[in-house]
Chain A
Amino acid sequence: MAQDSKLEARERDFSIVGTRPNRPDGIDKVTGKARFGADMAAPGMLHGLILRSPHAHARIKRIDTSKAEALQGVKAVLTSKDLPDLTGEDAGLKDILINIMARGTALYDGHAVAAVAATSKSVARKALSLIQVDYEVLPHVTDVEEAMKPGAPLVRSDLITQGVEPAPSKPSNIAKRHEFGHGDVSKGFAAADAVIEHNFRTEATHQGYIEPHACLANLGPDGLGEMWVCTQGHYMVRGTCAALLGLDVSKLRVTASEIGGGFGGKTTVFIEPIALALSRMANRPVKVVMSREEVFRASGPTAATSIRVKIGVKKDGKVTGAEAELKYTGGAYPGSGVEYGAMSAFACYDLENVKIVGWDVLSNRPKLAAYRAPSAPMAAFAVESVMTELASKIGMDPIDLRLKNAAKEGTKAPYGPTFNRIGLRETLEAAKNHPHYKAPLTKNQGRGVACGFWFNFGGNTCVSMNLGFDGTVSLAVGTPDIGGSRASMCMMAAEELGIPYDKVRAIVADTSSLGHNDVTDGSRVTFSTGLATINAARDAIKKLCARAAKTWGIPEDAVVWEKGHAKPAGGNAGKFEPLSLQQLAAASPSTGGPIAGHYEVNADGAGVSFATHMADAEVDPETGSMRIIRYTVCQDAGKAIHPSYVEGQFQGGAVQGIGWALNEEYIYGKDGRLQNAGFLDYRIPVASDLPMIDTVIVEVPNPGHPYGVRGVGETSIVPPLAAVANAASAAAGVRLTVLPMSPPRVLKAIEGRAG
Chain B
Amino acid sequence: MARVLAGGTDLIVQMKSGRLEPALVVDVKRIPAMHAITAEGGGYRIGAAVSCAALGEHKGVKSLWPGVVEAAKLIGSTQVQGRATMTGNLCNASPAADSVPALMAANATVRVVGKSGRRDVPVADIQTAPGKTSLAKGELIESIFLPARSPNSGDAYLRFIPRTEMDIAVVGAGVGLTLDSGGTCTAARVALCAVGPRFILVDAAAKALIGTKIDAAALGKAAAAASAACQPIDDKRGTKEFRIKVAGVLTRRAAMKALERARGK
Interface on A for B, CB 8 Å cutoff? Answer: 125, 129, 293, 622-625, 627, 662-663, 667, 675-676, 679-681, 683, 685-686, 688-689, 742-744, 747-748
Contacts and interface: CB of A to CB of B under 8 A. Distances in A.
B236 A667 contact: yes
B166 interface: yes
Contacts of A743: 160, 162, 170, 238, 242
A748 B241 contact: yes
A195 to B, nearest CB: 34
Counting chain B CB atoms within 10 Å of each CB, the highest count among A624, A662, A743, A744 belongs to: A744
Contacts of A662: 162
A236 B170 CA distance: 43
B245 A685 contact: no
18 contacts: A622-B249, A627-B164, A680-B167, A680-B168, A681-B168, A681-B237, A683-B166, A686-B164, A688-B164, A688-B165, A689-B164, A743-B162, A743-B242, A744-B238, A744-B239, A744-B242, A747-B245, A748-B242
Contacts of B115: none
B226 interface: no
A624 to B, nearest CB: 8
Contacts of A125: 18
A574 B106 CA distance: 94
Interface string B161-199: 011111110100000000000000000000000000000
A623 B246 contact: yes
Contacts of A667: 236
A683 B163 contact: yes
B249 A742 contact: no
A680 B168 CA distance: 8
Interface of B: 17-18, 160, 162-168, 170, 235-239, 241-242, 245-246, 249
Contacts of B241: 744, 748
B166 to A, nearest CB: 5
Instruction: For the complex of A and B, list the 7 residue pairs with the smallest distance between their C-beta atoms, beginning with the closest.
Output: A744-B242, A688-B164, A675-B236, A622-B249, A667-B236, A744-B239, A663-B162
A622 B253 CA distance: 11
A393 to B, nearest CB: 31
A410 B170 CA distance: 52
A254 B104 CA distance: 59
Nearest to A624: B242
Contacts, number: 57
B250 to A, nearest CB: 8
A742 B163 CA distance: 10
Contacts of A129: 18
Contact of A681 (B165, B236, B239): B236
Nearest to B170: A743
Given A676-B236, A744-B238, A686 B163 contact: yes
Contacts of A744: 238-239, 241-242
A742 B238 CA distance: 9
A742 B164 contact: no
A747 B242 contact: yes
B162 A680 contact: no
B89 to A, nearest CB: 15
A685 B163 contact: yes
A686 B17 CA distance: 24
B25 to A, nearest CB: 15
B165 A686 contact: yes
Contact of B166 (A627, A676, A680): A680
A513 to B, nearest CB: 39
Counting chain B CB atoms within 10 Å of each CB, the highest count among A623, A663, A681, A685 belongs to: A623
Contacts of B170: 743
Counting chain A CB atoms within 10 Å of each CB, the highest count among B17, B160, B163, B167 belongs to: B163
Given A622-B249, A625-B160, 17 more contacts: A622-B246, A623-B249, A624-B242, A627-B164, A680-B166, A681-B236, A683-B166, A683-B167, A686-B164, A689-B164, A742-B162, A743-B160, A743-B238, A744-B238, A747-B242, A747-B246, A748-B242
B167 A623 contact: no
Nearest to A128: B18
Nearest to B238: A744
A625 B162 contact: yes
Nearest to A744: B242
B164 A623 contact: no
A686 B237 contact: no
Contacts of B242: 624, 743-744, 747-748
A51 to B, nearest CB: 12
Contacts of A622: 246, 249
A627 B163 CA distance: 9
B236 to A, nearest CB: 4
A581 to B, nearest CB: 50
A748 B170 CA distance: 16
Contact of A689 (B163, B235, B239, B249): B163
A746 to B, nearest CB: 10
A129 B236 CA distance: 28
A625 B160 CA distance: 9
A748 B239 CA distance: 10
A685 B167 CA distance: 11
Contacts of B167: 680-681, 683
A755 B170 CA distance: 29
A499 to B, nearest CB: 45
A170 B89 CA distance: 56
Contacts of A679: 166
Counting chain B CB atoms within 10 Å of each CB, the highest count among A667, A676, A685, A747 belongs to: A747
A623 B164 CA distance: 13
A675 B166 CA distance: 17
A676 B235 CA distance: 10
Nearest to A129: B18
Contacts of A625: 160, 162
Nearest to B166: A686
Contacts of B246: 622-623, 747
A116 B222 CA distance: 58
Contacts of B237: 681
A685 B162 CA distance: 10
A533 B235 CA distance: 53
Nearest to A742: B162
Contacts of A624: 242
A724 to B, nearest CB: 14
Given A743-B242, A747-B242, A747-B245, A683 B164 contact: no
Contacts of B160: 623, 625, 743
A605 B249 CA distance: 56
A293 B238 CA distance: 21
Contacts of B249: 622-623
A683 B162 CA distance: 8
A680 B161 CA distance: 11
A675 B241 CA distance: 20
A210 B243 CA distance: 31
Contacts of B235: 675
Contacts of B162: 625, 662-663, 683, 742-743
A280 B15 CA distance: 32
Contacts of A685: 163
Contacts of A627: 164
B20 to A, nearest CB: 14
Contacts of A747: 242, 245-246
